[in-house]
């Protein structure tokens, strides 16, 4: 409890990424796919930010399911959920967009299946006042949550830019993080998407208001590269492009990735 009190009393971290340098390789990939969007990559060891479409990188959009990352961090920090494998969500008979959402789930399962009702349940337990305290602490986007605790990241008023999203992630998973190392490790565990002997890819997708998100980071050779992509995305059938375009970019700009 003392840790949480000290955490919330600590001054808010200010947005602090280096200025984005436009990268022609990244622009070429967006042009090839005829995609309107932006990409930001922060190389921690070199303290360098590269990307594409700096103007859009500063534009704020509704986060949608990428907010499951801070939502999970808050739930673990407040011990609303004791660990990522604790089953906390039980279906109550509602009909949902995805049939898998009717299964009982742990935080690991809910993240994997992007279970909106499960994370709405978490938000209701956190409640508005505590949620606002954490968003202020995280300096998360415009920090606006309105008066409905289970919809603000799905419909607004919360918005965040790609640059702000990268800044949030690199601070969340740094040694000077808002969260304990134990919570960081649990979050990394449920956000791991792919790995081999040389690298690990972590991330989360989102699709609010016809904007596709993919945010996360790579760990390779004891170095970290945090990224955020957002793009105009009209159709469900094109959701795969979020991760595919990101991985295509990462192959070009991160040495020996894949």
Confidence of residue 154 (pLDDT cuts 50, 70, 90): very high
Contacts of 1 (CB under 8 A, 6+ apart): none
Is the separation of the CB atoms in 219 and 200 below 8 Å? yes
With a pLDDT cut of 90, the percent of the chain lying above it is: 85
Question: How far is Cα 71 from Cα 75, in angstroms, rounded to an integer?
Answer: 6
Give the pLDDT confidence score for residue 35 in this predicted structure.
96
Give the pLDDT confidence score for residue 15 in this predicted structure.
52
Residue 4 has pLDDT above 70, yes or no: no
Give the pLDDT confidence score for residue 2 in this predicted structure.
34
Residue 9 has pLDDT above 60, yes or no: no
Helix (H, G, I), strand (E, B) or coil at 250: helix
pLDDT per residue over 218-234, tens digit each? 999 999 999 999 999 99
Give the pLDDT confidence score for residue 98 in this predicted structure.
86
Mean pLDDT of all residues in 195-215: 95
pLDDT per residue over 232-248, tens digit each? 999 999 999 999 999 99
Give the pLDDT confidence score for residue 258 in this predicted structure.
76
* Catalytic-labelled residue, pool 13, 65, 161, 182: 65
pLDDT per residue over 61-82, tens digit each? 999 999 999 999 999 999 999 9
Q: List the one residue out of 187, 176, 180, 177 whose CA is nearest residue 217.
A: 187
pTM equals 0.92
Residue 13 has pLDDT above 60, yes or no: no
Give the pLDDT confidence score for residue 171 in this predicted structure.
96
Residue 161 has pLDDT above 90, yes or no: yes
Structural domains of the chain in order of their starting residue, each with its CATH number: 2-8+20-253 (3.40.710.10)
Determine whether 65 is an active site residue: yes
pLDDT per residue over 85-126, tens digit each? 999 999 887 888 788 999 999 999 999 999 999 999 999 999
Is the separation of the CB atoms in 233 and 240 below 8 Å? no
- What rounded mean pLDDT belongs to the chain? 92
């Amino acid at each position: 409890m003392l840790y949480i009190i000290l955490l919330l009393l600590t001054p808010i971290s200010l947005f602090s990424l280096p200025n984005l340098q436009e990268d022609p390789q990244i622009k070429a990939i967006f042009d090839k796919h005829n995609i309107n969007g932006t990409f930001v990559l922060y190389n921690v060891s070199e303290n360098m930010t590269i990307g594409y479409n700096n103007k859009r990188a500063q534009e704020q959009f509704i986060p949608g399911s990428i907010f499951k990352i801070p939502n999970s961090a808050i739930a673990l920090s407040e011990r609303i959920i004791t660990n990522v494998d604790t089953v906390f969500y039980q279906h109550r008979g509602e009909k949902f967009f995805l049939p898998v959402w009717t299964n009982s789930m742990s935080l690991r399962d809910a993240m994997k299946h992007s279970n909106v009702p499960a994370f709405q349940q978490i938000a209701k337990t956190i409640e508005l006042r505590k949620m606002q305290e954490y968003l202020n602490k995280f300096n998360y986007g415009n920090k606006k949550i309105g008066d409905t605790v289970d919809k603000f990241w799905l419909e607004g008023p919360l918005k965040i830019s790609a640059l702000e999203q990268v800044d949030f992630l690199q601070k969340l998973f740094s040694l000077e993080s808002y969260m304990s190392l134990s919570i960081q490790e649990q979050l990394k565990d449920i956000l791991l998407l792919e790995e081999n002997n040389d690298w690990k890819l972590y991330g989360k997708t989102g699709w609010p208001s016809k904007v596709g998100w993919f945010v996360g980071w790579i760990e390779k050779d004891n170095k970290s590269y945090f990224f955020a992509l957002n793009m105009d995305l009209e159709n469900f059938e094109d959701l795969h492009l979020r991760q595919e375009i990101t991985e295509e970019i990462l192959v070009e700009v991160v040495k020996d990735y894949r």
